[in-house]
Amino acid sequence: MNPALPSPGAAAQAFLARAHGHFIGGRWVAPLAGERFDVFDPGTGLKISTAAAGDAQDIDAAVAAARAAFTGPWAKFTAAERGKVLWKLADLVERHAQELIELEILDNGLPLPVAQYVVHHVVPDFFRYYAGWPTKIEGATIPAAPQGRRPGEVLSFTLREPLGVVGAITPWNAPLPMLMVKLAPALAAGCTLVLKPAELTPLTALRMAELCAEAGVPDGVVNVVTGLGETAGAALAAHPRVDKIAFTGSTEVGRLIVKAAVGNLKKVSLELGGKSPVIVFADAALEQVIPGAARACFFLQGQNCMAGTRLYVHEKVHDQVVAGVANIARSMQMGHGLDPASQFGPLISTEQRERVRGFVEAGRREGGELVCGGGVPSRPGYFFEPTVFARMRPDMTPVKSEIFGPVLCVQAFGDQDLERVAAEANDTIYGLSGSVWTRDIGLAMQMVRRIDSGQVSVNMHAALDPAMPFGGNKQSGWGREFGKEGLDSYLKTKGVSVAW
Ligand code: NAD
C-alpha cells in the first residue's frame, strides 16, 4: 500500500492478503499446477495480491462441478427460489459495498465516485432486474396438427429450458459489471457457470463467488477459475462439456473464441470492441454537449467499449466544442481512485499505456492537431493525460483504431454533409454505440436510422439500463445482453407434442 493514500478498510485488506485459489464446487482450491501470478494496483504500480494461474486441469475440474450442479441441486430450485437468490445477492453487494468498492478501485483503478456508483447502483439494480425474470420464463401452446392429428387429439407446447454450463470470459475494464451481465441472466435462466475473469483484474470475481454462496447459490453453480487468457480462457472456450461461451473482450480474441467453440459447436455470445461516433449538430445545447462529449470519451479513462472517441462537430460550433472539451480534459483531477478528489484514474497497465502512447504518436506524425494532453505525467501508476486531437481525417490511425484510452479525435462537418458524416460514422469495422446531439428530433431520428450500431442515444451517450438490450453490430459482437434478450441467450426452446 502507498502510505500517502487513504487505506482500504480491514475487510479489503484481509481479502488482499489471502493466498487466493480457484472457487470450484463451493470451496477454495489451490491451482493444480501450483502456478500463481501477481496482481497490481494500476494507480501505484505496486503489487497488491496474487492469484492462481489456472490451466486446462483446473478448468476441467470447474466444468465437472458446474455440470454436476446443473442436473443436481440447481435443477431442484423453483423459479421463485432462483429469483430470491438473485435478490439476496443484490442485498449482499450492498452490505459489502465498501469492501467491493475498494477492491474494484485497487484492481482496476477507477475513480471513487465511479466505483461507488457501480457498487451502490449498477450491480444491485442489475441483479434485482434479473431477480424478477425466473418466474416469467414461459413457453407457448402451439396450434399444431402433427401427423394428421385433429384438434383435441394432440397438445403441442414449448418449454424454455436453461442452456446448461456457461463459460463466462470477461475483460478488465469494468470487472464487476462485466461479471454481473453474465452471472445474473445465467442464474435467472437456471444455468451454471465457470467464470474466467481477466488476469489483470481477478479480485472482485473471487469475492463475488463467496457472496453467491452466501446468497444460497448451491455448490458448483458458480465457479471461478483465474488465469491467463491463452491457457485458462482458451481451455474454457474449447471445452467439450461447456454449452455456451459468453465472452466480452477484444474483437481479436472474439475470433479465437469462435474458432475454439467449433469443436462441440457450443453457443457463443460476443461483446467486442467499439469506436463510437458522437455527432453534434449546430443547434445542439452546447452546455450539455461539451460535458457530454468529454464524458463519452474520458469515462473510465477511455477504457470503455462504448467510448465516444470520434467526435463529429458541425463547423459553426466546432471551435467552441473543441475548446470546451479540452478545458474539461485539462481540468480533470488526475489521481488514485481511493483519493476522493480524483476524477480521472490510471490506465490498466504499462503495456496499455505504451499502446495508447503509440496511437498518439501516430496521430501527431499523420498531421493531427494536438489540442491538449498526449503525455505521461510524472507520477507513480499507469496514468496518461486525457488527449484531444482536432483536424483529424478519416484515414488517420487514431481515427480508425480502437485505442481503449483517453484519446478523442475531432472532425468538422458542414451543412451539406449529412450523408458524408453518416457514412464516416459507419466507416469502421465496429458498430457498438453512438450518439447524436441536436434539438431537431426529425434530424436526430434520421441519424438514428443511418448509424449502424447496437445502440444510439440522442442528447446523451452510452445510455445503459438493465432492461435495455445491449450489444454490437458488425465486428462489435454477436447477440445482445441486458433485458429479456439477455435472458433468452441463456435459454433453449424444446417443442413438445403429446398425443393420446
Ligand atoms: P481481451 O480480449 O484481451 O481479453 C478478454 C478476456 O479474454 C480476458 O479474460 C482474457 O484473459 C481472455 N482471453 C484472452 N485470450 C484468450 C484466448 N485465446 N481464449 C480465451 N480467452 C482469452 O480484452 P481486454 O483487453 O481484457 O478488454 C478490452 C477489450 O474488451 C476492448 O476491445 C473492449 O472494447 C472490449 N469490451 C467490450 C465490451 C462490450 O460490451 N462490447 C465491454 C467491455 C470491453
Which pLDDT tens digit goes with each residue over 87-135?
999 999 999 999 999 999 999 999 999 999 999 999 999 999 999 999 9
Cα of first residue to Cα of last residue in the chain, in angstroms, is 72
- Which of 181, 253, 475 for mutating ligand 1's site (highest number of atoms within 8 Å of CB)? 253
Q: What is the mean pLDDT of residues 469-496?
A: 98
- Tell me which amino acid residue 29 is: V
The finding on whether 430 has its CB within 6 A of some atom of ligand 1 is no
Q: Please list the residues that pair with 158 across neighbouring strands.
A: 495
Side chain identity at residue 61, one-letter code? A
Which atom of ligand 1 lies nearest, measured to the CA of 200? 26
CB neighbour class for 429 (10 Å; exposed up to 12, middle 13-18, buried from 19): middle
What is the reported pLDDT for 416? Answer: 83
Q: Are 171 and 248 in contact (CB under 8 A)?
A: yes
What H or E segment, with its residue span, contains residue 436?
strand 435-437
C-alpha cell at 239: 471445452
Res 1: pLDDT: 56
Mean pLDDT of 57-68: 98
Short-list 495, 406, 480, 424, CA closest to 182:
480
pLDDT, average across residues 202-207:
98
**Mean pLDDT across 415-441:** 96
- For residue 319, the model assigns a pLDDT of 98
Question: How many angstroms does the Cα of residue 251 sit away from the middle of ligand 1?
Answer: 8
Side chain identity at residue 133, one-letter code: W
Please tell me if the CB atom of residue 431 comes closer than 6 angstroms to any atom of ligand 1.
no
Q: Is the CB–ligand 1 distance for residue 481 below 6 Å?
A: no
**481 catalytic per annotation:** no
The full set of domains in the chain, from first to last, is: 10-272+477-496 (3.40.605.10), 277-466 (3.40.309.10)
- Percentage of the chain surpassing pLDDT 90? 98
Kindly state the percentage of the chain with pLDDT values over 70.
99
How confident is the model at residue 441, as a pLDDT?
A: 97
Question: How confident is residue 335, by pLDDT bands cut at 50, 70 and 90?
Answer: very high
- C-beta 472 within 6 A of ligand 1: yes
**191, 212, 305, 409: the active-site residue:** 305
199 ligand 1 Cβ < 6 A: yes
- For 214, residues 6+ apart whose C-beta sits below 8 A from its C-beta are 92
- Residue nearest atom 36 in ligand 1 by C-alpha distance: 249
Q: Ligand 1 centre from 66 Cα, in Å? A: 23
The Cα-based distances of 354 to 246, 369, 388 in angstroms read 29, 20, 17
Task: Record the pTM.
Answer: 0.98
Residue 5's pLDDT is 78
**What is the model's pLDDT at position 2?**
62
Average pLDDT over residues 19-48: 98
Judge whether 305 counts as a catalytic residue.
yes
State the distance from the centre of ligand 1 to the C-alpha of 366, rounded, in angstroms. Answer: 29
Atom number in ligand 1 closest to CA 252: 2
Cα separation, 353 vs 342, whole angstroms: 19
Q: Check whether 153 has a pLDDT greater than 70.
A: yes
Mean pLDDT along residues 220-234: 98
The model's confidence at residue 3, banded by pLDDT at 50, 70 and 90, is low
Q: How far is CA 362 from CA 230, 372, 383, 386, 482, in A?
A: 29, 15, 19, 16, 37
Cell reading at 149: 392429428
Question: What is the grid cell recorded at 421?
Answer: 458524416
| Residue of 102, 271, 402, 481 marked catalytic | 271
Using the atom order of ligand 1, give the atom closest to the CA of residue 198: 9
Residue 179 exposed, middle or buried by CB count within 10 Å (0-12, 13-18, 19+): buried
Q: What is the pLDDT of residue 6?
A: 80
